[in-house]
Every structure is written in structure tokens, then in C-alpha cells.
């Protein structure tokens, strides 16, 4: 199992090298503040890190995951153009613009393509594979995918896949600066960190970051699939990302992670887990049912079905009449002798039509689409009741 993790400074690299052992399979992700969403590493510091990595022949990958409008994208391109790209084993890219730029300008460079937004179907993933060809070294998949989906994808895709195993869950990414307007004191800082809670949400303490790329909000619980490493490996997923950039995770967890990924231990000890400031969850790893509530978002009974549809009741005058707005050609050739109705509450009614009148009171024998007609009153029918032809 390969450990993918972030290194943000020479001191972190030194610590990593001190703890790492010969059994550990790993890659180090290096970023800089100009290209990476959360990195505080300057370009000069990145260059120092790259030099150290080259000296020790370490597998390092460059991260370019910020999103950019055209003007800002030009600046990011200029940074990319001046970095020693040959010193990196691959580049991790997310913006389709970055993907296209690397594909066309640096066709020799391997890409680890971050497909964490959407990309929840095999058809699309295969299309990315096909488009990128040999240049695609890895597909970094969304943490909204369940293990069943991951298992399928690992089996069906030619390209190795990577998932996040530990760290913050990003919920929201805006290019706008949303925290500094609240606290002018904070404006001097290049990165502002805070937490947010809302009385309208049962969840409290969403971690927040504002930096030059905009504002980010994270979930109140962090992701950990560390208890499932064996199961994940059995799915043929061999790259797992462990994000220790926040909450002192690097110092709290690094040793344990190295031991875990090199097989020296099988689980993180409760003492280490206790150091984590937020609860840990498995996210959607077991199941993703985020579409099941959709059926409750609207009343299906007030929604017309196409077959035998006549129209909708738009007015009820108790003991007098109902107003029916005709929405199809069902009465074009002649009005029916009876209709079937379904009320918004789900009550079903059948109504004989001894008469059908226009709003002016004249009886009619036929009616067209968009006509409003009056029909006899029946108890229990309300506005938005849907009306259908009665099928003998």
C-alpha cells in the first residue's frame, strides 16, 4: 500500500526521512501557495524542497489543484513554466484547464488527475483515461464514492486509482474572500483560519480557511478509512492519501502512519486517535444514499402522469362546482362522461360529468388545451387535484 502525503517544509521533510523505514512505499506531494489550494509553502521553499528531494532521490509529485479564472490562470501557467518539472515524478492537476495545459505543453509529464468533483460514473472515468492516454499515471477519485463503486472502478479501469484515507473533508470552495471582511485585523495575514457554526444547522465548528485562492469550508468531522486498509487493498486500490496538513496532524500522526503503511502495526492506537480535535467518520465509504430524500422534496400526487391526463382543478366552490384547467387534448373530440381524480392528499375520486360548462355558464360538448371549464362539485376535492380520463 502506497502512502501519499504532503510535505510543506524542509523541517517536515527531515522529520519524514527520520521516521520512514525501508518497507514504506510512499510518494510525497509538494505544493506552493501559487498553485495549491491550502499550501503555505512559497515558491522558493518549494524549490528548496525539490532540491533536497532530488538529492535523496525521493519520489515527489507537484500539486496544482487551485482553480483559476483566465487572468489568474495565466499567472499560474507562468509559475509552472519556470518550475523544474523534470525533478518531479508527476503532477497532480484538477482544473480541466490545467489538465489540458500539461497535456499539450508537457506531453512527457505524467499526470495524477484529481477527479474529486463529480466523476461518479465509470463512463466518465473511462473517457478521462482515453483522453489522457499514457500520460495519465493515476486517477484520484472522489470521497463520495462507496466501496462498491470503488471496487467496480478498480476492476474496470486500466489506470491505478487513489482515494483519500485520512484528513479533512472539503465541503465548499469559493474564490471570494469571505472571512477578512469580518475581521479587519485578520486582513494582514496571508492565511486566515477560523471555525463557523450555525444555529440553522445541528453541526458546529466547520473549519474555515481564507487565503489567496479564496475561502474553504471543511466538514465538522474528518475522514478516516484507516480501519479499512486491508479491504481497500483487496479491491486493488494501492494508493491512499493521508492529509496531515492541519490540526498538528503531521507531528501527532506521522510516526503512526508510517508504521501503519509499512505494516509494522495494523491499526492506529487509541492514544494517537485521541489527539485528533474532531470526530472521525467513514464518509460515504460504506454507502452513499444522498439521493433517497429527493422523493420527499415534492408531492408526487400533484404531479401529472401523462397517460389519460386531462388537467388540474384550479378552483373549488363548495356544493357548486369545480374549475378544471384542461391541459391536454383529452376533451377535444368531446367531453368524457366521467373522470378519475387524485387529490394532493392521495384520495382517489371518480366523478360523473352530466354537464360541463364554460366560465360564462354555457354548456359545452368539447374543450381544448388551456380552456377553463366548470364541472360538478364533489366532496373532498381540492385545488391541485389531478384529473384523468376514466378507463372503462
Partner 1 sequence: MGHWTPELLSPAGSLEKLKVSVLYGADAVYLGGQKFGLRQASDNFTYEELAEGVEFAHSRGALVYVVLNSFLHDKDLAELPEFLALLSELKVDAVIVSDLGVISTIKKHSNLVIHLSTQASCLNVESAKLWQQMGAQRIVLGREVTIKEAAKIKQATGLEIEMFVHGSMCMAYSGNCVISNYTQGRDSNRGGCAHSCRFEYSIDFNGATSGSSEEANKKAYFMSSKDLEGIRLLPEFIEAKIDSLKVEGRNKSHHYAGTISKVYGDALRYYREHGNFLSSDMLLWEEELRKVSHRDYSTGSLATYAGEDTIYNQREHDDNEFVVSGIVLEAARDQHLLVDVKSAFHPGDILEVMPFKGPTTKLRVDFLKTLSGVDLVKSKPGSVVKIPFLPGAEKFNLIRKAVRV
CB 363 within 8 A of CB 375: no
The Cα 150–Cα 107 span in angstroms is: 29
- What residues does 239 pair with on adjacent strands? 2, 162
Contact flag: residue 196 with partner 1 (CB under 8 A): yes
Q: How far is the CB of 369 from partner 1 (least distance, A)?
A: 8
Assess 304 for contact with partner 1 (CB under 8 A): yes
Kindly state the cell numbers that stand for 94: 484538477
CB-CB neighbours of 212 under 10 Å: 12
Q: Please list every residue from 134 through 173 that binds partner 1, using CB under 8 A.
A: 144, 149, 152, 169-173
Considering only 200, 271, 365, 379, the residue that binds partner 1 (CB under 8 A) is 200
Please list every residue from 211 through 230 that binds partner 1, using CB under 8 A: 215, 217, 219-220
Q: Interface with partner 1 includes 184 (CB under 8 A)? A: no
User: According to CB under 8 A, which residues from 367 to 386 bind partner 1?
Assistant: 369-372, 374, 383-384
Cα–Cα distance for residue pair 165/3, rounded to 1 Å? 9
Q: How far is the CB of 145 from partner 1 (least distance, A)?
A: 9
Site string for partner 1, 30-69 (x = CB under 8 A): -------------------------------------xxx
Q: Does 275 bind partner 1 (CB under 8 A)?
A: no
Binding residues for partner 1 restricted to 82-101, rule: CB under 8 A: 95-101
Q: Show the site string, 283-302: x = touches partner 1 by CB under 8 A, - = not.
A: xx---xxxxxxx--xx----
At its nearest, how many Å lie between partner 1 and the CB of residue 361? 9
Stretch that binds partner 1, among 14-22, 40-48, 281-289, 346-354 (CB under 8 A): 281-289
Q: Which stretch binds partner 1 (CB under 8 A): 11-19, 83-91, 315-323, 346-354?
A: 315-323
Task: Report the distance separating Cα 116 and Cα 118, nearest Å.
Answer: 6
How far is 333 from 68, CA to CA, in rounded Å?
60
389 is a site residue for partner 1 (CB under 8 A):
no
- E strand map for 300-352: 309-317, 321-326, 338-342, 348-352
CA distance 161 to 170: 20
The grid coordinates of residue 330 equal 383529452
Q: Which positions from 347 through 366 interact with partner 1, judged by CB under 8 A? A: 359-360
Choose the binding region for partner 1 from 13-21, 230-238, 321-329, 345-353 (rule: CB under 8 A): 321-329
Report the alpha-carbon distance of residue 12 to residue 132 in Å, rounded. 33
φ, ψ dihedrals at 84, nearest 5°: -75, 75
Site membership for partner 1, residue 106 (CB under 8 A): no
- Residues 104-115: b if buried by 16+ CB within 10 A, e if exposed: eebeebbbbbbb
Does 129 interact with partner 1 (rule: CB under 8 A)?
A: no
| Inter-residue contact 301 to 345 (CB < 8 Å) | yes
Amino acid at each position: 500500500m502506497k502512502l501519499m502525503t504532503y510535505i510543506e517544509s524542509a523541517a517536515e521533510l527531515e522529520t519524514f526521512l527520520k521516521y520512514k523505514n525501508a518497507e514504506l512505499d510512499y510518494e510525497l506531494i509538494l505544493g506552493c501557495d501559487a498553485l495549491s489550494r491550502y499550501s503555505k509553502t512559497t515558491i522558493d521553499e518549494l524549490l528548496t524542497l525539490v532540491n533536497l528531494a532530488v538529492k535523496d532521490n525521493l519520489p515527489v509529485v507537484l500539486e496544482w489543484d487551485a482553480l483559476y479564472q483566465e487572468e489568474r490562470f495565466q499567472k499560474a501557467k507562468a509559475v509552472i513554466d519556470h518550475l523544474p518539472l523534470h525533478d518531479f515524478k508527476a503532477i497532480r492537476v484538477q482544473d480541466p484547464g490545467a489538465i489540458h495545459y500539461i497535456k499539450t505543453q508537457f506531453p512527457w509529464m505524467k499526470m495524477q488527475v484529481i477527479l474529486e468533483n463529480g466523476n461518479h460514473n465509470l463512463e466518465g472515468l473511462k473517457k478521462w483515461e482515453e483522453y489522457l492516454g499514457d500520460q495519465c499515471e493515476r486517477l484520484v477519485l472522489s470521497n463520495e464514492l462507496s466501496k462498491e463503486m470503488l471496487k467496480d472502478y478498480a476492476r474496470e479501469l486500466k489506470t491505478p486509482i487513489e482515494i483519500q484515507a485520512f484528513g479533512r473533508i472539503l465541503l465548499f470552495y469559493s474564490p471570494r474572500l469571505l472571512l477578512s471582511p469580518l475581521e479587519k485585523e485578520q486582513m494582514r495575514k496571508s492565511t486566515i483560519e477560523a471555525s463557523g457554526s450555525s444555529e440553522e444547522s445541528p453541526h458546529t465548528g466547520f473549519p474555515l480557511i481564507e487565503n489567496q485562492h479564496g475561502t474553504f469550508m471543511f466538514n465538522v468531522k474528518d475522514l478516516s478509512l484507516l480501519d479499512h486498509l486491508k479491504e481497500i487493498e483487496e479491491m486493488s486500490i494501492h494508493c491512499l492519501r493521508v492529509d496531515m496538513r492541519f490540526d498538528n496532524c503531521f507531528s501527532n500522526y506521522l510516526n503512526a502512519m508510517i508504521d501503519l503503511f509499512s505494516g509494522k502495526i495494523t491499526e492506529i492506537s487509541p492514544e494517537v486517535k485521541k489527539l485528533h480535535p474532531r470526530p472521525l467518520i467513514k464518509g460515504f465509504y460504506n454507502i452513499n444514499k444522498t439521493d433517497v430524500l429527493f422523493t420527499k422534496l415534492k408531492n408526487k400526487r400533484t404531479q401529472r402522469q401523462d397517460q389519460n391526463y386531462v388537467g388540474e382543478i384550479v378552483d373549488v366552490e363548495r356544493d357548486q362546482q369545480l374549475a378544471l384547467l384542461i391541459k391536454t387534448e383529452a376533451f377535444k373530440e368531446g367531453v368524457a362522461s366521467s373522470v378519475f381524480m387524485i387529490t394532493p392528499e392521495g384520495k382517489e375520486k371518480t366523478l360523473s360529468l352530466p354537464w360541463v360548462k364554460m366560465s360564462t355558464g354555457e354548456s359545452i360538448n368539447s374543450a381544448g388545451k388551456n380552456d377553463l371549464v366548470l364541472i360538478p362539485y364533489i366532496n373532498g376535492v381540492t385545488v391541485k387535484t389531478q384529473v384523468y380520463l376514466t378507463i372503462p
